[in-house]
Structure 1
Amino acid sequence: MDQFKGCLLGALIGECVGTPLKRPTSCHMNLAGVRSKISTYWEKMLLTHAYGRSLLDTGYFSMENAARECSNAFYQNYTKRTAFGKLTEIIASWKHSPPKDWTAAAQSVRNRGTECNPAAWITAFPLYFYNRTEQMSYSVDRVARLTHSSNDAAAGAQLQAYAISLVLKNKKMKELEFLAALVEYTSKSLPDSVRQEFYTRMMMVLDYAQRAEPKEKLFKAIGVGTSPLDAVPVAIYCAAIGRRSGCPFEATFHAAMSTGGCTDAIGTMACAIAGAWSGFSGIPDEMVGMWDGQEQIYALAKELYTYVSTLHGPDGPLSTIENWPHLLPSAGAMARTGLYYIGSKDTVKCHYCRFTMSNWTPGDPYSDHQRFNENCIFVTNCTATPAYVRAS
C-alpha cells in the first residue's frame, strides 16, 4: 500500500508543481508568482483517476469505458481544468458524441495541435496490472492510442509504465540496474518504428548516469520538450539520479522541476516513479497534505492495492497458476489470458466470466477461451489474440 499511495501522490505533486512552472528555457526552479496555483491538479491526474476508475469498475481495460470515464471527468471539470484546452475540449465532447472510430478520434486530437504526453497519465496501469507486464503493455498501448495516433506516444507510455512496474516489484533496485533494465526493455519490446530512437536516448541516460555528468548536460543533449522521446527518458533519468540523495523523492522532484520546458509531464512521470520507489513513507512530510484531489488519489490507491492483493495474494487466483501441470500452454499464457488453475486435474477458471475449461492440449488459450465463451468481457474487449499472449 505504501508504494501504491506514494506512486499516485508523487504523480499528483509532480503535476501540481510542474504545470505552473512550465516554461521553455529556464533550468532553475523559481516558485515566485505561481504559489496561488501550485496545489491545483490538471488534465494528467484527471485522466489518471478516470483510467484507474475504469479499470476497477470493468475488471479489464475497455477503450469505450475508459473514454466514457474521461469524457465525464473532463465535462464536469471543463471550466476548472483548462491547462490543455484542445485536449479538454475534444474529450469533453465525447460525452455526447462517442467516436465510432477511435483511430480517427486520436488523429483529431493530434491534428488540432495538442502536444500532451499520454505517458504522464498511465500511472494507474502498472499498479492495476502489477506483475502482469505483457498485459500492462498491451493495455497502455491501447489507452495511449485513445488520444494519440503516433507510435512514439504509445511507446513512451509503455516505457514509463514499465519503469514504474520495475520499482514496484523491487524497491531496493539500484539506479544503474534500473536504467540497464530499461535499456534492455527498450531494445526488445518497443515498436520497431521508434525502437532505435528510444534506445539511443536511454543509452545516453545510462551513460550520463554512469559518468555522473551534470544533469543539465543531459537535459540539453536529449531535450526537455513535450515529445515522449524527450520527456520520458529525462523523467526516468531524474528518478534514477534522485536515488543518490539522502531523500530520493525530494531530489527527484527538484531535478524534474529544474529541467525547464515540459516540467508538468516530466514532473508527473519522474515523481510517480520516485513515489513508487520510495513509497509514501519516503515523501517528506512538508510535501504532503496541500494538494488538490489528494483524498481521491488516496482512495484510488487503496482500491488498486486491495484489488492487487486479492488477485496476487497467497489465496488469490493468480497465485495458483504456479502449480499448472502443463508446459504448453504455459502457465504465463494461461494467467495472462485471465485464467487461473483451480488445483484439480488441468481445470482452469476465468477470473472475469467464471467459465471453467479443462483437458488442455498445446495451442492458444486465448482462442480457446474465445471459442468456448465469446461473451466473456475479457474476450469481447479484444478483437484478436493479444501480443502478450502470443509472445508466451
Structure 2
Amino acid sequence: MTSETVLDSARFRGCLIGAYIGDCAGGLFKQTKRDCQPIAVQHVVDTLFSKNCWLPTDASYLTSAVARSIVDSGSFIDVHVAQYMADCYFEFPERRKFFTTIKDVFFAWKLNGIKTKTVYFPAAQQFRGSGSYGNGAAVRVAPLVLLNCFDLDSALKEVDESSSLTHGNLLAVRGAKLQARAIFEALHIHQPDAASFIATLISFCKKMEVDNQFKFYSNRLRKVQTFLADNTDPKAVVSALGNGIKALEAVPLAIYCALRAMTPVAGIITESAFDRCIILAISMGGDTNVIASMAGAITGAWIGNGRISVLMKMPCYDIEEPEVLGSELARVLQERIDKIAAFKKEMNIRV
C-alpha cells in the first residue's frame, strides 16, 4: 500500500450491493432438497419482476455484521465480529428462521462467553470434530477483502480467521479464501477477461492446495475453465459442479456464473453484465441465494455501483444498507492509508 494508492469507493459499494441483491433475489428461489435441477431462465425473469419486494436472508445479515464490526472497530477483531454475528440471531427473533447449524455456535458463545482463547472452539467441535463444510463462511468474505483490497495476504489471513469462527472444516475455509481471491481480482480488473481470470484463480488454488493430493478446488476450477471455453449447457455445469450448500459446490459455481456473465449468455436478453450474472446464478438452482450473492459480489466489484441497474436495486428491502456500508468501509480504509502516508512523511522528515 502506498500513498499514491487510488481507492475506488464505487467498487466497494458495487461489491456489497451486488452481494445483497444476489441474496435477496436468489432467496425467492432457494431449493432445499438434494439434486436440485436448473431453473428455466424465463421463469426466473418472470418471477423476479412480478415481485415488488425481495427480502434478505442470513447471508446478508452476517455479511452486514462483519462489515459493521469493521466500521465500528476500525479493523478485523475476531471476538468483535463474533459478537456482532451472534447479535444477528439473538437480537432479531424474526431472523432466526434463516439460521441452521450455525446457531449452535452462537448458543455456545452465549453460554460460555466470547473470549479470545475459546471463540474458535464451538465451530471446530461441530459434526463430531470435522466442522461444517458449508458455504456460509464464503458468502460473507466481501467486507474483509474490501478492507484489505491492496494487501492480498492480509485479506486471506483475516478471511481464514473469520471463516474459522463458524466453520471448522478445511474445505469451508478454503472455499471462503477462494471466494475472497475472486473478489480481490475483480476489484482490480478494468476489462472483463474470463480466461485470464480463471487462470489466476487456478494458480491460486494450486498454491493453496499444495498440501492436499486431491486438489479439490483446483480440479473444480479446471472444469469451470472448460465450461467457459465450451459454452457448456447449464445442466451439465450443475451436474459437474453441484449447486448445494457445500462450499466445494457453491463457490466454484458462483465463480462460473460471474465469469460466464461477462459476455452475452444465450437466453438471457440483457446488455447488463450484472443482470446476466444474477439471472444465470439463480437459474442454476439449488442454494440460489448464496450462489447468486457470491456471484453478485464478484461482478459488482468489477463493474461498480454505477453500473448496477435501478431495476435490480428497487425491489430489494433496505438496499441503502449495503451502499452505506460500502462507503463506510472505503472511509475506514482511506483513513488507514492516510495514517500510513502521514507516518512515512514524518519518518522522512526526521531522517
Question: Which position in structure 1 is the counterpart of 2:301?
Answer: 276
Tell me which moved more, 73-82 or 268-277: 73-82
State how 1:1-392 maps to structure 2 within 5 Å. 1-23=9-31, 24=33, 25-29=36-40, 30=43, 39-88=54-103, 90-91=105-106, 94-95=109-110, 97-100=112-115, 101-110=118-127, 115-190=134-209, 192-193=211-212, 196-245=215-264, 246-312=271-337, 316-318=338-340, 341-342=344-345, 344=347
- Does structure 2 retain, via aligned residues, the 8 Å contact 1:71–1:91? yes
Q: How many residues align?
A: 326
Distance 1:290 1:93, change over 3 A: farther
- Give distance in 1, aligned partners of 2:25 and 2:295: 12
- Give distance in 2, aligned partners of 1:41 and 1:93: 25
Distance 1:115 1:126, change over 3 A: closer
Distance 1:273 1:169, change over 3 A: same
- Give distance in 2, aligned partners of 1:303 and 1:94: 28
Query: Residue 48 of structure 1: SS of its match in structure 2?
Result: helix
- Give 2:67's aligned amino acid: G
Consecutive unaligned residues of structure 2, counting only runs of 5 or more, are 1-8, 265-270
The percentage of counterpart residues that share the same residue type is 25
Distance 1:306 1:81, change over 3 A: same
Shift of 1:283: 1.4
- Give distance in 1, aligned partners of 2:153 and 2:349: 24
- Does structure 1 retain, via aligned residues, the 8 Å contact 2:89–2:95? no
Aligned CA-pair RMSD:
2.7
Shift of 1:117: 2.5
- Give distance in 1, aligned partners of 2:96 and 2:319: 16
Query: Residue 94 of structure 2: SS of its match in structure 1?
Result: coil
Distance 1:223 1:125, change over 3 A: same
Tell me which moved more, 262-271 or 209-218: 209-218
Q: Summarize deviations over 1:268-288 as a string: whole Å, max 9, x none.
A: 100111111211122122111
- Give 1:147's aligned amino acid: T
Q: Summarize deviations over 1:281-303 as a string: whole Å, max 9, x none.
A: 22122111221232221111111
Shift of 1:109: 4.7
Q: TM-score, normalised by structure 2?
A: 0.84
- Give distance in 2, aligned partners of 1:33 and 1:109: 37
- Does structure 2 retain, via aligned residues, the 8 Å contact 1:232–1:269? yes
Q: TM-score, normalised by structure 1?
A: 0.76
Distance 1:250 1:110, change over 3 A: farther
- Give distance in 1, aligned partners of 2:74 and 2:230: 44
Shift of 1:115: 4.1
Distance 1:113 1:54, change over 3 A: closer
Distance 1:16 1:158, change over 3 A: same
Shift of 1:223: 1.1
- Give 2:239's aligned amino acid: K
Consecutive unaligned residues of structure 1, counting only runs of 5 or more, are 321-339, 348-357, 359-392
Q: Summarize deviations over 1:313-370 as a string: whole Å, max 9, x none.
A: xxx34558xxxxxxxxxxxxxxxxxxx63463698xxxxxxxxxx9xxxxxxxxxxxx
- Give 2:223's aligned amino acid: M
- Does structure 2 retain, via aligned residues, the 8 Å contact 1:68–1:95? no
Instruction: Give the structure, 1 or 2, with the largest relative contact order (CA under 8 Å, sep 6 or more).
Output: 2
Q: Summarize deviations over 1:142-189 as a string: whole Å, max 9, x none.
A: 110000110011101011011011111123241111111111111113
- Does structure 2 retain, via aligned residues, the 8 Å contact 1:123–1:161? yes
- Give distance in 1, aligned partners of 2:121 and 2:304: 39
- Give distance in 1, aligned partners of 2:18 and 2:278: 9
- Asked which structure has the greater CA Rg, the reply is 1
- Give distance in 1, aligned partners of 2:68 and 2:219: 35
- Give distance in 2, aligned partners of 1:228 and 1:106: 16
- Does structure 1 retain, via aligned residues, the 8 Å contact 2:17–2:300? yes
